[in-house]
Amino acid sequence: MRRLVAALLLISVGCASIPQPAAAPHTLPEPVSETELPPSPDATPIPPEDNWAVPIDDVEVSPGDHRSGILFSIEKAQRVALLRIAYDELRGLYDVDLRTWGREREIYERQLGLADQEVTTWRTRAQRSWWEENGDEFSLFLGLGLGIVLSVAVGAIIAELR
């Protein structure tokens, strides 16, 4: 009897200590930081007397070198250069933003895929087995059957003893 109890105790403790699989760790992406935009080159107005540009044709720059183009005032040329630099800088920031949001989208889609896998895993774990679905009825009919068989057997034994 002791061996039977010890064996049942060992089996119940052994079944209870089955390790559960560890959940996949969830990592959040690095936060996206904002960058301040460069100051606008149009913030300070150019005085009207220095805000000029004129076309020039066939100007001799050096002996034998004739060129055409646009002649700017120094203030206007500085403004144009600053606008070009600011445009290049904004374009660079835009490219960085595109790459950052592309990376954020990849991380988001990967997290969605992992979440779908976890939902699928938990759905398969949550499916009920045959015993969970039919165990109550099976136990009821088994108990009734055993009760009837034992009642008949006890009745037969008592009838033979008389």
What tens digit of pLDDT does each residue of 62-113 get?
888 888 888 889 999 998 888 888 888 888 888 888 888 889 899 999 999 9
What is the Cα 46 distance to its own chain's centre?
50
pLDDT bucket at 44, cuts 50 / 70 / 90: confident
For 66, list phi and psi in degrees, rounded to 5.
-110, 135
Task: Give the model's pLDDT for residue 89.
Answer: 83
Assign residue 77 a region: left if phi > 0, alpha if psi is -120 to 50, beta otherwise?
A: alpha
Per-residue tokens: 162:
């008389």
105-125 pLDDT, tens digit each: 999 999 999 999 999 999 998
pLDDT at 18 over 70: no
Task: Give the model's pLDDT for residue 8.
Answer: 67
Over the chain, what is the mean pLDDT?
83
The DSSP letter of residue 42 is: G
pLDDT bucket at 13, cuts 50 / 70 / 90: low
For 60, the enclosing helix (H) or strand (E) is strand 53-62
Q: What share of the chain is helix, strand, coil (3-state, %, to 5)?
A: 65, 10, 25
Task: Give the model's pLDDT for residue 19.
Answer: 63
Find where tokens 């300070």 sit. Answer: 44
